[in-house]
Amino acid sequence: VAETTFAKGLEGVIAAESGICQIDGANGRLYYRGYPIEDLAQHSTFDETTYLLLYEELPSREELEDFRQRMREGRELRLPVQDMIRHFPEAGSPMELLQSVIAYLSSTVQHRIRHSATCNCRRTLHQIAQMPTVLATYQRFKEGGGYLESRSDLSEGANFLYLLRGEEPSAEEGRILDTCLVLHAEHGFNASTFTARVVASTFSTCYCSVSAAIGALAGFLHGGANERVMDAMDEIGSKDNVDPWLDRKLAAHEKVMGMGHRVYKAKDPRAVIMEQLLLELSEHRGDRRLYELLKRVEESFGAHMAKEGKPIYPNVDFFSGAVYTMLGIPRYLFTPLFAAARSPGWLAHILEQRKDNRLYRPKALFVGPQPRAYVPLEERAGMASRALV
Ligand code: ACO
């Protein structure tokens, strides 16, 4: 990289080699380890996709069964974790709770931080398996319920809904949520994954990396968009209000959540699948209100941006919030559920980073004061005239 290269936000900068995820942004295509996301959404399950990400190949039947068993055995929460959830400050967010649980899990395993370059993240499946349990349990406790043990005969998606509701979801609902998890499992060098790799590049533990990645995902430009899409749908209310609402938003130069993507310059392929899932669920329920409202926003926004010569399309989060809402998942669990779904991707990247490590250490273009003489305390004017915040 030339000495003078400067790319704000590292846009367009290639910082590592990776064999995990291929994104063809121009054509709206996405592959995990070479497999098109459409095929994985149709044929795979979250646990199988997790295996693919961590072990680089799809499992044989026997390998899948063994892996599935390991994942399912890792779901249960120890008593101290249940207590942590029960006593988590009310003002705390479930993202912070996830970070705390990951830190707790880290302290329950024997790993020597200095030698963690050799730590096998594939043996820390409890990180992936417990996140949905933590979130469902958080919700159960919030509603005054007790701890419920997982059902080892249910997929990750179906088990999450089972824990959340206390009763088994329909096969269709379970499959839809499991597919949502597949769609979110990996997405290249996005902000949270890059964060995980930066931490891994110091040879810190994979728990530290995952916890940092959760922090990066918490921001609304990344993981929080689907909650805000649903806030926007509440605000809009009905199809008649879409155009006036959009006019106000765009006149104020505000972003429309769930629209646009740093990499996709066509419709996000995950949004195409998510839209289909939402349509299935809406038909099944006989309630197309949210689906139709979203489609109307998509059309009006798309037409407006096309007129301005800035074609912007929906990203995965445009439709995911509506799917989760129809499945009865509370809004504040959307981003944490995304974190749970993305954890296999993070671990795959941590493993890859360690295989051929180079400590991340970019530079900043210095725009601060030039070297100057130290001012003795008694000669300083102070900052009274400036806002001290
Ligand atoms: N609403 C209104 N205008 C938009 C939007 C939007 N959602 N997205 C992009 N634009 C505008 C930009 O402001 C820019 O206008 P300008 O040329 O006048 O400055 C133009 O379209 C082109 O934007 P891009 O350069 O393609 O977008 P960028 O890479 O800067 O931003 C981002 C990408 C941050 C995702 C942006 O589209 C956005 O903020 N979207 C809303 C938040 C969101 O949905 N985030 C989820 C991302 S997906 C995920 O994390 C799973």
Report the pLDDT value the prediction gives residue 12, as an integer from 0 to 100: 87
Annotated active-site residue 317? The verdict is yes
Please tell me which residue in 47, 178, 268, 317 is annotated as part of the active site.
317
Q: Which atom of ligand 1 is nearest to the CA of 229?
A: 44
Q: How far apart are CA 350 and CA 125, in angstroms?
A: 13
What stretches of 237-375 show up as alpha helix (H) in DSSP?
242-251, 269-285, 289-307, 316-326, 334-355
With b meaning 16 or more CB within 10 Å and e meaning fewer, what string describes 334-348? bbbbbbbbbbbbbbb
Q: Which atom of ligand 1 is nearest to the CA of 184?
A: 51
Distance 314 CA to ligand 1 centre (A): 10
Task: Name the strand (E) or helix (H) holding 157.
Answer: helix 156-165
- Residue-wise pLDDT tens for the chain (389 aa)? 456 689 999 988 999 999 999 999 999 999 999 999 999 999 999 999 999 999 999 999 999 999 999 999 999 999 999 999 999 999 999 999 999 999 999 988 877 655 556 667 888 999 999 999 999 999 999 999 999 999 999 999 999 999 999 999 999 999 999 999 999 999 999 999 999 999 999 999 999 999 999 999 998 888 888 899 999 999 999 999 999 999 999 999 999 999 999 889 899 999 999 999 999 999 999 999 999 999 999 999 999 999 999 889 999 999 999 999 999 999 999 999 999 999 999 999 999 999 999 999 999 999 999 999 999 999 998 876 565 55
Annotated active-site residue 261? The verdict is yes
265 lines ligand 1 (CB under 6 A): no
Distance 208 CA to ligand 1 centre (A): 30
Q: How far apart are CA 312 and CA 264, in angstroms?
A: 9
Read off the pTM.
0.93
Please tell me which residue in 126, 187, 261, 349 is annotated as part of the active site.
261
Report the pLDDT value the prediction gives residue 224, as an integer from 0 to 100: 83
Distance 315 CA to ligand 1 centre (A): 10
Q: How far apart are CA 49 and CA 72, in angstroms?
A: 15
Residue of minimum CA distance from atom 1 in ligand 1:
255
Report the pLDDT value the prediction gives residue 5, as an integer from 0 to 100: 84
Distance 30 CA to ligand 1 centre (A): 19
**Residue in the block written with tokens 């009905």:** 238
Q: Which of 312, 319, 337 to mutate to test the pocket of ligand 1 (most atoms within 8 A of CB)?
A: 312
Q: Which of 254, 310, 320, 342 to mutate to test the pocket of ligand 1 (most atoms within 8 A of CB)?
A: 310
- The 3-state DSSP class for residue 306 equals helix
Question: What is the amino acid identity at position 199?
Answer: V
Distance 117 CA to ligand 1 centre (A): 37
Question: What is the amino acid identity at position 384?
Answer: A
Q: Which of 23, 184, 255 to mutate to test the pocket of ligand 1 (most atoms within 8 A of CB)?
A: 255
Q: Which atom of ligand 1 is nearest to the CA of 265?
A: 26
105 lines ligand 1 (CB under 6 A): no
360 phi and psi, to 5 degrees?
-75, 130
Q: Which two tokens stand for residue 115?
A: 């030698």
| Cα torsion through 102, 162, 170, 173, rounded to 10 | -30
Residue of minimum CA distance from atom 30 in ligand 1:
262
DSSP 8-state code for residue 358:
-
Distance 255 CA to ligand 1 centre (A): 7
Q: Which atom of ligand 1 is nearest to the CA of 262?
A: 29
Judged on CB neighbours under 10 Å (0-12, 13-18, 19+), 96 is: middle
Distance 13 CA to ligand 1 centre (A): 19
Report the pLDDT value the prediction gives residue 222, as an integer from 0 to 100: 84
**Residue in the block written with tokens 């931080």:** 113
